[in-house]
Every structure is written in structure tokens, then in C-alpha cells.
Structure 1
Amino acid sequence: MATRSPIINVMIKAADRAARGLKRDFGEVEQLQVSPKGPSDFVSTADIKAERAVREELVKARPTYGLLMEESGVTPGTDGQHRWIVDPLDGTTNFLHGLPHFCISIALERAGEVVAGVILDPIRDDLYWAERGIGAYLNGRRIRVSSRRNLGEALLATGIPFQEHGDHSAFAAELSAVMPKVAGVRRFGAAALDLAYVASGRYEGFWESGLQPWDMAAGILLVREAGGYVTEIGGGENMLDSGSVLAANDQLHGTIQRLLTSSEPWKRPRAQP
């Protein structure tokens, strides 16, 4: 079993505490109080309780670090170098519909670079973690991206724009370019887990636009430490700023990127999410 650093242990402790509450609430999902935060975008009492649990553990362990959290936003730190990036419940819509596919995602950014990440799936009890230069792990076992080279055997994942979010026509063109070439495309509704699945070889690739930093910070590090490539869909390196991400194994990243960007919408300015 891999030896975990003190910082990874801090992150796992915070994720574990949030997971206990989420599992309790998931069993009573119909009783949750839900308030609208926007079209098809909800915040539940479960989100808020999970974020509070994560925050308390992280602040107790590293009181000088800043935070970027989905529900409460930015809290500046006093050391000026470190920032936690947290999604206490990635897959909220799944959670609220009783679908057992959601997770807690915690990343640590140092001087603008993500150096540690933890993703915990409370229902399956799957714990993913990665640290820069140390590798990526699932339940203590070292993981690697898939070694498949043939696009026709590749299973990909994506996120589908909903209601007023994103550019629907651009996504439809991307999907039309990819679907005839691959073994399948999945949409499970939790970007952090999609990235973790790429890191562990369950998917060959994943792409999505309109994401937030907390959706992908930990997952990007997982994929890279597992030997994969991560860029923006168009090839840039500013995923956390742009919200665009393409993660894949080292054999297929370029091929998938060329397919996605061959569609007509990439030849004109793209709508903002």
C-alpha cells in the first residue's frame, strides 16, 4: 500500500467526514430541503453540510490556507501560496434524484499549481488520491490510464449542456464527430468521477466545457499522475480558467482532440457557458 503524506491524510479525513453525512442524507433524499439556485441547478442542505464539514477539517489542519469552495466561494488565506479547491458534492442532481453516482472532490493548489487531490465516492467506498510526482492511487493501489490505442475500442465520457447552460449546437456537433468512431460515449453527471475513471483506465477519455475549477482540479492531477494527458478541448493549458477540459490516455488524446475540433462550430467563435 502507498504511503500517504500528511497533506493527503488531511484531505482524506475531511472527505471522510463529509461522506458520512452524505450517506445519511442519501438514504433520506426525498426529505431534503432543496432551494433553487438557477435553472436545473440546485443546492441542497446536503451540499451545505458537506461543505461545512470539509471546511472545518481543512481549516483546523491548515489555518493559513485559502479556500475556493462551490457553495461559499473564495476565502483568502494568509500565507498567499496555498489554496484548497473543494466541491463537497459533485453530482448534486444525481444525489437529489436518488442516483448513487456522486463524490467529494478536494484539491490543494500551491502557487497556482495543483499539487494534491482526493476524490471520494462514498457509495462505492472508492478513494482516489494523487500527489504531484508521487503517482495516482485507488484504494491504496497504483493506477494507470488505459493502454488502448484503437479509437474504435475506446469508451469516452462527456457532460451534456442543460437548459440555458453551454452551447448546445456546438456540443451536438462534437458528439456527432465522435460517436461513429468510438465504442461508446457515457454521460454520468459527475465530472470529478469522470476524470477519476480516466485515471483508473475505465474510460479512455473525457471532455466537457463550462466546468468550474472545483469540478476538475483534483481530477486533472489524478489523470496526469496516472500517465494521461489533460488540456483544454482546443489544446490550451488553462483548464481551470476556461472550464474546458479534454483528458485521455497518452495514446488517444491527440486523436480525440482532432475529432472534437474538426466540427464546424470550432471554425467560428464559441458561445460562453
Structure 2
Amino acid sequence: MSITDRDLVIEAAAAGAAVVRSHYGTSLTRFGKSAGDFATTADIEAEKAILDVLRAARPDDLVLAEESGRTGTGGNGRTWLVDPLCGTLNYAVRSMLVSVNVALRTGTQVVVAASADPFADEVFWTDGAGAHVRRGGVDEPLAPSAESGLVDVNLDPPFPNERVFRAARLLADPRFIERFRPRVVSTTLAVAWVAAGRRAAYVTDGHLRDSVHFAAGIALCAAAGCVVTGIDGQPPHTGAGGLVVAADERTHAALLALVESQRAGQD
């Protein structure tokens, strides 16, 4: 019997997470990339584990992966987006704040996605109809909540909108400080946490279309009922780009107003 895309994305993310766990705390070879970025043995081997799962079940699909790039024949409109270890620098210095992200895009829509936390042994997943977390083989629905007031802000470059928006300026805004408590997790696990009610919101700049890092988290948040837009309030991947994902409309509106005040100050 053929495996469903939903079960496949969960299996693939879990396979990558198992490899990430197995290498934690070991001596890791680093492979230099651009602009000071790097991959490790764990990134490479986790990606291989994920691709082995996907290729065994869907040999005709295209794959866009963080380390190996674009592979497969394609032509059927199906593309898997694979991020084997989001938070590599965290991981390399023995921090457990990382995630493994896998998503399937058909046409322009992400239809299934999973973001695995290797150390909490959790897989956040969506089939487009709903969003859940799997722990010990048991699925629970995700329930966004802004109660914590915690907002994760991505401070990593690039900053394509830096003339009118910088995350660092947001953190210094007295109105932000009065209402929210900033966090910098430095992994897109934080995006899944918004869907799970563990963060009130997440904010980043950047052009995120085709991003293997963000595809799974955006899909999770949309399916969980979060408010998801770019930094200018437009739909994701349009307008200025970037990402503001919030647990509710009130939190989202407050963050957009803070972002817009930076733009007004630069015009």
C-alpha cells in the first residue's frame, strides 16, 4: 500500500531528526559555505537520510535541499523542500535549539509539511486541513496563543528592507518593550512554536519564496489559524517580503504598526 504524503513528510522529518540526535555532542567536521555560513557532518547525513526516505517513496518528484540543491527529474509539479538542520551554529556549539524541516509544494501551494524538534522528540506537521504535534506516536492539535507575549525576532542577515525596517530597531522600540518580550532562538523551530502556542509571534525580514528554512513553518502556522503575512501586511512572498506570523489578529496588528512606524520614520 502506498504511503500518503502526510505520513511521508512526517517519516522524512523524523529520519533527519534521528541523525541530528545521533551526532549531537560529537566532533563535527565543518564544510564552509558562503558569507561565513557552514554545514556540518550532521547536516549532510541528516539530509541524506531525508532524501533516502523521499526518493524511495516518490522517485519522480523534484527535491530542493539545503545542502545538495535541486535534484530529480521533476515535471510533475511536485517539489520537496528540505532543510536538514535549521540552527547549525546553535548545534555546533552544543545548543539543542534546532529543527528539521520538510515540506511538499505542488504548484504554488505547500500541501504537507513537518518541522521536527530532534531533542524534544516532537514532530509538528500539517496536511493543509489542520496542524498537529506528534509525541510518542500520539497526535495533538496545535492551538496558537498570544498569552505569553513572547516574540521571536530573527536578527540574521540578509536585510533586503533595511532602509525601512530593521529587527534590531524593533527590539529598541519602547512600544515593543512595553507589550512584548523578545526572544532570539536562531532557528525556524520558533515559527512552529507560534502554531503551538509557545510564542505569540515571529518576525523576520528576507525574501522567503522557495526557502527550505521557512516553508514548513509558514504552512504549519497557516493551517493552525495563525495570522501570516509579510512585514508590510501583504500575503507571504509578495510585496516587501519578510514574515510576520502571529497567534491572533490583535498581536499581528500591533507588530505591523511597529514595523510601519519604522517605515514612516525613514520616508
Corresponding residue of 1:158: 153
Structure 1's 101 and 157: CA in aligned 2 closer, same or farther, altered over 3 A?
Answer: same
- Structure 2 unpaired stretches of 5+: none
Partner SS for 1:14: helix
Structure 1's 183 and 173: CA in aligned 2 closer, same or farther, altered over 3 A?
Answer: closer
- Aligned-pair distance for 1:243? 5.7
Q: Following superposition of structure 1 onto structure 2, how do residues 29-108 of structure 1 map, counting pairs within 5 Å? A: 31-108=27-104
CA deviation string 1:212-236 (max 9, x = no partner): 5111111111111111111111122
Equivalents in 2 of 1:172, 1:138: separation in Å? 31
CA RMSD of aligned residues (A): 2.3
- Aligned-pair distance for 1:122? 0.8
Equivalent residue letter for 1:156: V
- Aligned-pair distance for 1:49? 0.9
Corresponding residue of 1:271: none
Assess if the C-alpha contact under 8 Å between 2:113 and 2:220 holds in 1: yes
Partner SS for 1:85: strand
Equivalents in 1 of 2:49, 2:240: separation in Å? 29
Bigger mean CA offset, 236-245 vs 37-46: 236-245
Q: Are 1:113 and 2:109 matched, yes or no?
A: yes
CA deviation string 1:85-130 (max 9, x = no partner): 1100011011101001111100110111011110111111011101
TM-score by length of 2: 0.87
Structure 1's 243 and 123: CA in aligned 2 closer, same or farther, altered over 3 A?
Answer: farther
- Aligned-pair distance for 1:175? 2.3
Partner SS for 1:236: coil
Assess if the C-alpha contact under 8 Å between 1:220 and 1:230 holds in 2: yes
Equivalent residue letter for 2:178: K
Corresponding residue of 1:236: 234
Corresponding residue of 1:261: 260
Partner SS for 1:239: coil
Structure 1's 246 and 266: CA in aligned 2 closer, same or farther, altered over 3 A?
Answer: farther
- Aligned-pair distance for 1:75? 2.5
TM-score by length of 1: 0.85
Q: Quick one: which of 130, 136, 158 aligns to 2:126?
A: 130
Bigger mean CA offset, 166-175 vs 200-209: 166-175
- Structure 1 unpaired stretches of 5+: 269-273
- Aligned-pair distance for 1:36? 2.0
Structure 1's 70 and 266: CA in aligned 2 closer, same or farther, altered over 3 A?
Answer: farther
Equivalents in 1 of 2:42, 2:239: separation in Å? 27
- Aligned-pair distance for 1:20? 2.0
Corresponding residue of 1:249: 247
Corresponding residue of 1:142: 141
Q: Identity over aligned residues, as a percent? A: 29
Equivalents in 1 of 2:265, 2:48: separation in Å? 41
Assess if the C-alpha contact under 8 Å between 2:30 and 2:40 holds in 1: yes
Corresponding residue of 2:23: 25
Q: Are 1:221 and 2:219 matched, yes or no?
A: yes
Equivalents in 2 of 1:229, 1:37: separation in Å? 34
